[in-house]
Structure 1
Amino acid sequence: MSNKAGHQARKRFGQNFLHDPGVIERIVRAIHPKPEDTLVEIGPGLGAITEEILAVNPRLQVVELDRDLIPVLRTKFFNYPEFRIHEADALSFDFSQLADDDRGLRIIGNLPYNISTPLIFHLLGQAGVVKDMHFMLQKEVVQRLAAVPGDNNYGRLGIMAQYFCKVQPLFEVGPGAFRPAPKVDSAIVRLVPHETLPHPAKDLGTLQAVVRTAFNARRKTLRKALGSLITVDQLQSLGINDGLRPENLSLADYVLIADLLVDQKVSDAGSEEVSND
């Protein structure tokens, strides 16, 4: 389906252009942009949200992969000389290069459904330079981000998002707000990186490996799901019931398991050194 600017929404980029003025206004109100903010928009599309943000913050920067959209954006916003377009794939883009020393990045975007999960993981890895993030996502993805132990939607995405950020679902958006209309409901979410991590892990890579291993076998009990990493005795020493399923453990529990594995690795390395002397 084409639109006013004559651009065909592309399936391979997962494009669904926002056009509902009421929804756009509500999103911008939730973002609450200020002139001094360092704002970056991912996938501006035809500039529906871009236009509203630029009116407040003329230094907005955008990251856009579809090269056919770039001349549309340049033409539409030619009267904003500080407006910058980065022609790049957000999945591999280094957002930290855009951060000012004294204020964090504010990242916004109507994220394509087909890349939203890997893109969020990519951005979480750069959370240290981010002040906040506001995203339009598939409603189910927002539910996964905000899920708590015991929820059907609880898993790796929610655990790692909550490790780095406070997750605030804001409101839902129906398919009619987009062209073409997607087959799913959408929702707006706010992610605010923690100033101090509530449950810091001794080694992030170990935590990620534990969570990934657990949820690769989410229907199994912990003794089976994590059997390749940790013994039943070790789980019980942490006060964790080995008969539970991965979805029953909190972020704090996963950090406990990961830290025990890190300590064990250090201990094993130490005893190996002693035996080699």
Structure 2
Amino acid sequence: MGDYRTKEIVDRYKFRFTKTLGQNFLVDDKVIEDLVNGAEITSQDFVIEIGPGVGNLTREILKKAKKVTAIEIDRDLIPILEEELKEFDNFQLVHKDALKIDYNEIIGEETKVKLVANLPYYLTTPIIARLLNGKYDFESLTVMIQKEVADRIHAKPSTKEYGSLSLLIQYYCDTSVIRTVPPTCFLPRPKVDSIIIRLHRLSKPRVEVNNEELFFKIIRSSFNMRRKTLPNGLKVLGFSKELIEQAFKETNIDLMRRGETLSIEEFAMLANNIDELSNN
């Protein structure tokens, strides 16, 4: 039914997909139901949806949420969404770029905030990073993403998928996979499987760090040069060889280890030691 409805809307409004926006509209009713249920939306929730498409998912969220604000960048979709969802008085549409918007302006005085998105693959990492690093006050982010990105999010140390994204999300969130979604559930069909994943925001970061900026700089530097040992990877940050070696000694981390082998707890200890030594 969802497939037919989406095609009918696309044909009626003579909508043309924009390849550069990575548009793949969700058309499977069961997947939409699973995504809404996975987001655990209640009548007390204010939901921000990123990339509503023609509104199939939006419609189901609107039936459960207190209010939904959808952010859509494609101007051709604005009149379609306004017409298709005009029956809902708890719907607001914002025609802006989700990567540039100030989410605090949208959240306002709302206290129970959840985000939902069927994200274009090219936007997945920058959107998640922006939402988490921006310190916006939301309970959860439930997203449809490329399976490859979901694998990176759940990756463990010493695997090829483990990297900066894994640690960023571990730092801020607990995660749970809701389901796998095959290409047949989209219009047009992507070439790979997708995953619905829920990121539940922790009340405080998973590890305690003295300097978050330094913590994430160390992580990024470690993975930018994956084949190098950690001390070599950290040279670009401008610390002396002696300081780095002292920090490794005090945290009991072998100088020959590579960044991909360190847990988030070890990265936190190393960052805190480097911060303390550089300020003495």
The residue correspondences of 1:1-277 to structure 2 (distance < 5 A) are: 3-6=7-10, 7-57=15-65, 59-99=67-107, 101=109, 103-228=111-236, 229=239, 231-267=244-280
* Greater mean alpha carbon deviation, residues 91-100 or residues 116-125: 91-100
Q: What whole-Å deviation, never above 9, does each CA across 1:7-33 have from its counterpart, x for those lacking one?
A: 222111110011011111111121131
Unpaired runs of 5+ residues, structure 2, are 1-5
Cα root mean square deviation, aligned: 1.6
Looking at structure 1, the residues matched to 271 and 65 of structure 2 have their Cα atoms a distance apart, in angstroms, of 43
Looking at structure 2, the residues matched to 102 and 74 of structure 1 have their Cα atoms a distance apart, in angstroms, of 23
| Letter of the structure 1 residue corresponding to residue 155 of structure 2 | A
Q: What whole-Å deviation, never above 9, does each CA across 1:118-153 have from its counterpart, x for those lacking one?
A: 111100023440111100000111111111212221
Distance 1:58 1:197, change over 3 A: closer
SS at match of 2:232: helix
| Letter of the structure 2 residue corresponding to residue 263 of structure 1 | E
Give the equivalent residue in structure 2 for 1:274. none
| Letter of the structure 1 residue corresponding to residue 265 of structure 2 | A
Looking at structure 2, the residues matched to 119 and 18 of structure 1 have their Cα atoms a distance apart, in angstroms, of 19
* 8 Å contact from structure 1 (residues 96, 126) kept in 2: no
Q: What whole-Å deviation, never above 9, does each CA across 1:242-277 have from its counterpart, x for those lacking one?
A: 21111100111111122122212321xxxxxxxxxx
SS at match of 2:122: helix
Superposition deviation, residue 76 in structure 1 = 0.3
The share of aligned pairs that are identical, in percent, is 32
Superposition deviation, residue 57 in structure 1 = 2.3
* 8 Å contact from structure 1 (residues 91, 119) kept in 2: yes
Distance 1:163 1:58, change over 3 A: closer
Looking at structure 1, the residues matched to 187 and 107 of structure 2 have their Cα atoms a distance apart, in angstroms, of 32
Unpaired runs of 5+ residues, structure 1, are 268-277
Superposition deviation, residue 177 in structure 1 = 0.4
| Letter of the structure 1 residue corresponding to residue 275 of structure 2 | V
Looking at structure 1, the residues matched to 60 and 25 of structure 2 have their Cα atoms a distance apart, in angstroms, of 15
* Greater mean alpha carbon deviation, residues 23-32 or residues 155-164: 23-32
Distance 1:168 1:226, change over 3 A: same
Give the TM-score normalised by the residue count of structure 2: 0.90
Superposition deviation, residue 86 in structure 1 = 0.9
Distance 1:85 1:128, change over 3 A: closer
Looking at structure 1, the residues matched to 208 and 244 of structure 2 have their Cα atoms a distance apart, in angstroms, of 23
Distance 1:212 1:71, change over 3 A: same
* 8 Å contact from structure 1 (residues 103, 131) kept in 2: no
Looking at structure 1, the residues matched to 51 and 121 of structure 2 have their Cα atoms a distance apart, in angstroms, of 12
Looking at structure 2, the residues matched to 159 and 42 of structure 1 have their Cα atoms a distance apart, in angstroms, of 23
Looking at structure 1, the residues matched to 89 and 205 of structure 2 have their Cα atoms a distance apart, in angstroms, of 39
* 8 Å contact from structure 1 (residues 215, 246) kept in 2: yes
Give the equivalent residue in structure 2 for 1:271. none
